[in-house]
Structure 1
Amino acid sequence: MIRNNRVGKHTAKLLVATAITLTAFGGSAMAEGELHLYNWTNYFAPELLERFEKETGTKVSVDNYASEEDLLAKLQAGGGGYDVIFPGSTTLGVMVEKGLLAKIDVNQMENFKNLLPAFTTMAGDEKREYSAPYMWGTTGFTYDPALVPGGKLEESWKELFEPKDELKGKIAMLNEMSDVWNAAAYYTGVSKCTEDPAEAQKILDVLMAQKPHVKLYSNDGTIDRMIAGEVAVHMQWNGAAHRVKEKKPDAVYVYPKEGTTFWTDVIAVPKDAPNMEAAKAFVNWMMSPEVAAIASNYTGYSNAVSGSGEFLKEDLRNDPAVNTPEEYNERLRAFEACSPASKDLREKVWTKLKS
């Protein structure tokens, strides 16, 4: 999720009046050469690329992937010459296990002190040796009141998995295995880390019954699709929902009562990164408050850096799709590191669904 997916095309306004000095690099030498990023589409502010280039002399380029499966495959095939990547929490754990990442000791970087306490550790990288937090958010769904029966939907995954007749063919799902699997698991009451084939079958049954009513599975264009009215309901990441509401203020983002995935994207470095020192400097730089705020203002997601709040746009602070209302906190479900057996079931279900 710009995780094009997780956001839409947007040009962030410069809210930071003071220049970010080179002290943000924690005393490390100025970066040199080129830095190659691999990220979701439109998930990184162009303004930050320009700043980093200006402050370090390092030329920065960005390539994009459409799914985390693509990202993982690229690294397993040799990394593609990338210096910095932006995986989600699920993929991060797999990359650490497979030895695909450089141990860059983020916990020793100068700007690590800026992280909010809840983000100083995470499943799969408990000591923060391999990754720094980037954006975090939730996966729910958005609907257009003008296009749904009665102008309102229940706060339940039922609206997607058992759509009303008027909505059949007018709903869209993300093309992200973990998010789709998790939502169906919450709806069926099955553990998302189940190792029971019978429980996995329950998830598959729900997804296969839904499939004929789904207009498409896609991570790209979710914002434009909702704004154009191509679908009435879209499974979305909350930052994308925020961008929809910029054009359609009446759009509603739902935290389904059965469970809403709470996710964190991170910044990491492939083990064979060509410009390792520049990559480390970049990771440290991204943990400074001003930089983190510019990233949030562009993507529409929250960051994990203390002190960034004063630089955030007001509409971000006030949007319940971005800042989860307290009454919905109990609905949030954090990442869990599932067993290989569970992951295998998930992949089998996804393969059958998409075949």
Structure 2
Amino acid sequence: MKKTMVAMALVLASPAYADGELNIYNWGNYTSPEMITKFEAETGIKVTITDYDSNDTALAKIKAGGHGFDIVVPSGTYVPIFVGEGLLMESKPNEMENFKHMDPQWVDVEFDKGRNYTVPWQWGTVGVTVNTAIYGGDINTAAVIFDPPEELKGKINVVPEMNDVMGMAIHYVGGEQCTADKEVLMKVRDTLQAAKPNWLSMDYGMIEKFAAGDVAAGVNWNGASFRAREKNADIGFGYPQTGFPVWMDNAAILSDAKNVDEAKTFLNFIMDPENAAMLSSFARYANGIAGSEAFMPEDMKTSPEIVVPAELKAAAYVAKTCPPEATKLYTAIWTELQK
């Protein structure tokens, strides 16, 4: 009897493991394997990750239903769209234990005031990646993409993310974010159509191709450019002087999630500073969790892809959700561009 009681005491004293699963739908090559391994070991929850390459791809898949996903990671510009479509659960991250670690500047964001739906995943900038061994000119300009020099023609990739590319093009022709001015948008349309013959591709997941020299320039995200530079020291990242967006991707639970408790456990888990740092160390972007800096690599504190030059900070703007009338015009231009 004594042995039985001791055995029971040991069981009760050991960590409680959930015997569940979690299905995450996220951008490709964007989730730290080390962090997932840690989460599975600490919780007993088995994680499956499925990739997508753009916000529009994710939105279409979720709206179609029957997807089987529990968590999605939309950009801030798409969070209101997901909420408006009834696709996200009001999971109240602001009531979770680790919410206390969220950096105050990322709590009352325009796309999710007070954080009733989402938790920060990563944040960064959209700029221009250039192989400086091929082109030695100014890389802090969107002209690298929209009016490229001879050295770069036929060697350019543009990410398949409408808002990022349209935003850069709108500022390049002198417009403002979310403009519905048809004269400005005609200039944008003409600029994009004239530039496209000089592009090689409009693809996602180009880190290896930039590193190998298969692509020489492109519209890109700063963390992806950082990872390419780690493999090829000639890779540089430019901040267009005419304007570049600052964005944040956010984890949220889907309204039709089957594994809600497991999903809430995960959202709370990634708000822990050490776990948030694992995400940043892998993807090479900043995150919205205070105290995570102490766990991140030293090179992220001085990286040119993370630290915006003082003279270019004024060109940054926070990406926001545009009105439907503007988005409809952008979609028409984008659809034509992809033909």
TM-score normalised by length of structure 2: 0.92
The answer to whether 1:234 aligns with 2:218 is yes
Distance across 2 between alignment mates of 1:233 and 1:77? 35
The amino acid across from 1:103 in the alignment is: E
Structure 1 residues 280 and 342, CA, compared in 2 at 3 Å: closer, same or farther? Answer: same
Distance across 1 between alignment mates of 2:17 and 2:60? 32
Could you tell me which of 247, 265, 278 is aligned with 1:263? 247
Query: Which residue number corresponds to residue 318 of structure 1?
Result: 302
Distance across 1 between alignment mates of 2:232 and 2:151? 21
Query: Which residue number corresponds to residue 174 of structure 1?
Result: 159
The answer to whether 1:185 aligns with 2:181 is no
Query: Which residue number corresponds to residue 74 of structure 2?
Result: 87
Q: How does 1:33-44 map to 2 (within 5 A)?
A: 33-44=20-31
Deviation larger for 118-127 or 199-208: 118-127
Query: Which residue number corresponds to residue 157 of structure 1?
Result: 142
The answer to whether 1:244 aligns with 2:231 is no
The amino acid across from 2:186 in the alignment is: Q
Q: CA deviation at 1:79?
A: 5.5
The answer to whether 1:66 aligns with 2:53 is yes
Could you tell me which of 324, 334, 339 is aligned with 1:350? 334
Q: CA deviation at 1:30?
A: 5.6
Q: CA deviation at 1:165?
A: 2.4
Which structure would you say has the larger Rg?
2
The answer to whether 1:300 aligns with 2:284 is yes
Distance across 2 between alignment mates of 1:87 and 1:180? 17
Q: CA deviation at 1:137?
A: 0.4
The answer to whether 1:274 aligns with 2:262 is no
Query: Which residue number corresponds to residue 100 of structure 1?
Result: 87
The answer to whether 1:223 aligns with 2:207 is yes
CA deviations on 1:13-52 (whole Å, 9 max, x unpaired) are: xxxxxxxxxxxxxxxx864411111111111111111111
Q: Secondary structure at the match of 2:192?
A: helix
Q: CA deviation at 1:302?
A: 0.7
The amino acid across from 1:237 in the alignment is: W
Q: CA deviation at 1:252?
A: 1.5
Query: Which residue number corresponds to residue 285 of structure 1?
Result: 269
Q: Secondary structure at the match of 1:298?
A: helix
Q: Which ranges in structure 1 are unaligned for 5 or more consecutive residues? A: 1-28
The amino acid across from 2:193 in the alignment is: M
Please tell me whether the aligned partners of residues 27 and 53 of structure 2 are also in contact (alpha carbons under 8 angstroms). Answer: yes
Q: CA deviation at 1:154?
A: 4.4
Structure 1 residues 213 and 343, CA, compared in 2 at 3 Å: closer, same or farther? Answer: same
CA deviations on 1:32-84 (whole Å, 9 max, x unpaired) are: 41111111111111111111111111111111112211110111112511111
Distance across 2 between alignment mates of 1:267 and 1:37? 9
Structure 1 residues 352 and 309, CA, compared in 2 at 3 Å: closer, same or farther? Answer: same
Please tell me whether the aligned partners of residues 128 and 139 of structure 2 are also in contact (alpha carbons under 8 angstroms). Answer: no
The amino acid across from 1:65 in the alignment is: Y
Query: Which residue number corresponds to residue 26 of structure 1?
Result: none
Structure 1 residues 199 and 79, CA, compared in 2 at 3 Å: closer, same or farther? Answer: farther
The amino acid across from 1:188 in the alignment is: V
Distance across 2 between alignment mates of 1:155 and 1:323? 14
Q: Secondary structure at the match of 2:78?
A: helix
Q: Secondary structure at the match of 1:104?
A: coil
Q: Secondary structure at the match of 1:61?
A: strand
CA deviations on 1:263-289 (whole Å, 9 max, x unpaired) are: 000000100100111111110110000
Percentage identity across aligned positions?
Answer: 39
Please tell me whether the aligned partners of residues 53 and 160 of structure 2 are also in contact (alpha carbons under 8 angstroms). Answer: no
Query: Which residue number corresponds to residue 40 of structure 2?
Result: 53
Distance across 1 between alignment mates of 2:150 and 2:134? 13
Please tell me whether the aligned partners of residues 32 and 278 of structure 1 are also in contact (alpha carbons under 8 angstroms). Answer: no
RMSD of equivalent CA atoms: 1.4
Structure 1 residues 349 and 118, CA, compared in 2 at 3 Å: closer, same or farther? Answer: same
Distance across 2 between alignment mates of 1:52 and 1:167? 43
Distance across 2 between alignment mates of 1:295 and 1:245? 18
Distance across 2 between alignment mates of 1:49 and 1:332? 33
Distance across 2 between alignment mates of 1:337 and 1:64? 23
Structure 1 residues 283 and 217, CA, compared in 2 at 3 Å: closer, same or farther? Answer: same
Query: Which residue number corresponds to residue 111 of structure 2?
Result: 124
Deviation larger for 105-114 or 339-348: 105-114
Structure 1 residues 30 and 90, CA, compared in 2 at 3 Å: closer, same or farther? Answer: farther
Query: Which residue number corresponds to residue 14 of structure 1?
Result: none
Q: CA deviation at 1:325?
A: 3.3
